[in-house]
């Protein structure tokens, strides 16, 4: 494949990029004491007719159409001789920690041109991004600093909706380990279903890990494990406390770029500490009053593992609203519903209230798990319902 030709593009910027085209606060500037003075305000006003064009700028780059999650849509042209490639390990406010191929860590700000591009994303740079940055300090300085000039196209992104915009939690990963707990806090299968849909949409391999099985009788988890296993998902029963199942858990992480996701208090950091004690991640006990986690992990971080590979430890998720999934698409992401969808009488069947619905018949006959069907109905109705 030949190298893409750089070209001039018209890029859109956010509305707050440019100032007001004219003053609108004449009343606020009026001084009653100076009412007798001569009015020096302009008698004519020139109004630009460009409208939204004032929030566009010509930049040099290429349209970014690679990857499952293109991100900004534009790859800005940068001086690659003056920049270095790197990978974002963590984002703290306005600064990002970027690791070079040689293992050096730079604290980088983000170029203003990137931050003001019009996009549906809440943040331009996220954990796992591959970027080009320009060092602004010499390699001999104790604190290495830089400026992120370009974000490369993304693939394998875990996203959710946050305040009506897209929040990319992590990107450029191979698999997502969906961690739940058998108890303390209680198991939430509906959250697992949402994360499975996100993994299916991003074409990432999902693995369901149920931690703290030492607190319950493992036989009680058989129905849930069987439901997910029949759909082809790998399910692991582990215990960070006793070490049960940790060898298989460690093998899954070795040599891959992974992300662990789940609600607060399920033991994500404890599992990673068990795999690699050198990580020394902070952990805390679950609240005895609410049986909820305490958000010990406050920001996502990309961590290199001693056995090879990377893993992203994410903050606990209490609410996960799907991004860019319309109700008509939900059934296609449910592996157990897919075989019955085409057998419904009506081609636009929603599988919620229609007669002669193959999905509802399968639930009534016991061929489909009733809880999974209820989860589908809730997602089809939408998060605002």
Separation of alpha carbons 322 and 194, rounded Å: 7
pLDDT tens digits, residue range 28-38? 666 655 555 55
Separation of alpha carbons 293 and 314, rounded Å: 13
Note the CATH architecture for domain 158-313: 3-Layer(aba) Sandwich (3.40)
3-class SS of residue 305: coil
pLDDT-based confidence at 385, cuts 50/70/90?
Answer: very low
Contact 178, 209 (CB under 8 A): yes
* Residue 54: predicted pLDDT: 54
Separation of alpha carbons 265 and 365, rounded Å: 37
Contact 246, 236 (CB under 8 A): no
Task: For the beta carbon of residue 296, count every other beta carbon within 10 angstroms.
Answer: 17
Average pLDDT for 358-363: 96
Report domain 327-381's class: mainly alpha
Report the greatest alpha carbon distance in the chain: 90
What is the 8-class DSSP label of residue 24?
Answer: -
Q: CATH code for 60-151? A: 2.40.50.140
* Residue 38: predicted pLDDT: 54
pLDDT tens digits, residue range 98-145? 999 988 999 999 988 787 775 677 788 999 999 999 998 765 666 789
**Is 60 exceeded by the pLDDT of residue 18?**
no
Q: Which of 72-76, 196-200, 208-212, 306-310 has the lowest mean pLDDT?
A: 72-76
Closest among 228, 182, 181, 230 to 207, alpha carbons compared: 228
* Residue 71: predicted pLDDT: 57
Separation of alpha carbons 167 and 188, rounded Å: 22
> Between 75 and 92, whose confidence is greater?
92
Contact 270, 284 (CB under 8 A): no
pLDDT-based confidence at 212, cuts 50/70/90?
Answer: very high
Contact 164, 157 (CB under 8 A): no
**Is 60 exceeded by the pLDDT of residue 9?**
no
4-8, 288-292, 310-314, range with greatest mean pLDDT: 310-314
H or E element, residue 274: helix 268-275
Average pLDDT for 170-193: 93
* pLDDT-above-70 percentage for the chain: 74
**Mean pLDDT, the chain, whole residue set:** 82
CB neighbour list of residue 27: distance below 8 Å, 6 or more residues apart: none
The separation between the first and the last C-alpha atoms of the chain, rounded to the nearest angstrom, is 47
> What residue ranges of the chain are covered by domains with CATH 2.40.50.140?
60-151
* Residue 384: predicted pLDDT: 47
**Is 50 exceeded by the pLDDT of residue 180?**
yes
Average pLDDT for 327-335: 93
* Residue 153: predicted pLDDT: 87
* C-alpha dist (Å) from residue 11 to 54, 62, 63, 221: 11, 11, 10, 52
> What residue ranges of the chain are covered by domains with CATH 1.10.40.50?
327-381
* Cα angle 65, 71, 74; round to 5: 60
* Residue 2: predicted pLDDT: 45
| Tokens standing for residue 196 | 């499975």
> What residue ranges of the chain are covered by domains with CATH 3.40.50.300?
158-313
pLDDT tens digits, residue range 53-74? 455 666 665 666 554 454 566 6
H or E element, residue 209: strand 205-211
Separation of alpha carbons 240 and 182, rounded Å: 12
* Residue 61: predicted pLDDT: 57
Contact 60, 8 (CB under 8 A): yes
**Is 60 exceeded by the pLDDT of residue 42?**
no
* Residue 121: predicted pLDDT: 78
């Amino acid at each position: 494949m030949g190298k893409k030709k750089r070209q001039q593009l018209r890029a859109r910027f956010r509305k707050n990029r440019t100032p007001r085209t004219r003053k609108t606060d004449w009343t606020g500037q009026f001084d009653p004491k100076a009412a007798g003075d001569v009015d020096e305000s302009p008698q004519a006003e020139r109004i630009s007719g460009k409208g939204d064009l004032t929030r566009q700028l010509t930049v040099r780059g290429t349209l970014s159409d690679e990857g499952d999650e293109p991100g900004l849509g534009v790859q800005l042209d940068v001086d690659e001789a003056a920049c270095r490639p790197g990978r974002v390990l963590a984002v703290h406010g306005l600064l990002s920690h970027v690791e070079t191929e040689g293992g050096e860590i730079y604290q980088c700000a983000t170029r203003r041109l990137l931050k003001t591009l019009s996009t549906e994303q809440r943040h331009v740079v996220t954990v796992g991004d591959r970027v080009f940055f320009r060092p602004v300090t010499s390699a001999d300085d104790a604190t290495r600093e830089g400026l992120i000039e370009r974000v490369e196209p993304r693939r394998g992104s875990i996203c959710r909706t946050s305040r009506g915009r897209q929040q990319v939690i992590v990107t450029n990963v191979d698999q997502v380990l969906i961690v739940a707990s058998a108890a303390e806090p209680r198991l939430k299968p509906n959250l697992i279903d949402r994360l499975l849909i996100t993994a299916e949409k991003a074409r990432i391999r999902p693995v369901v890990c149920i931690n703290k099985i030492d607190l319950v009788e493992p036989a009680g988890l058989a129905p849930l494990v069987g439901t997910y296993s029949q759909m082809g998902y790998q399910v692991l029963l582990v215990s960070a406390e006793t070490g049960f199942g940790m060898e298989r858990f460690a093998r899954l992480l070795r040599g891959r770029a992974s992300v662990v996701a789940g609600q607060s208090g399920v033991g994500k950091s404890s599992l990673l500490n068990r795999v690699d004690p050198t990580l020394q991640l902070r952990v805390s006990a679950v609240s005895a009053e609410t049986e909820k986690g305490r958000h010990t992990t406050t920001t996502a971080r990309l961590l290199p593992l001693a056995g090879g590979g990377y893993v992203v430890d994410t903050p606990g998720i209490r609410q996960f609203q799907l991004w860019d999934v319309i109700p008509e698409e939900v059934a296609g992401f449910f592996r157990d519903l897919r075989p019955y969808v085409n057998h419904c009488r009506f081609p636009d069947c929603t599988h919620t209230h229609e007669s002669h619905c193959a999905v509802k018949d399968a639930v009534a006959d016991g061929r489909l798990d009733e809880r999974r069907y209820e989860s589908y109905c809730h997602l089809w109705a939408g998060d605002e319902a």
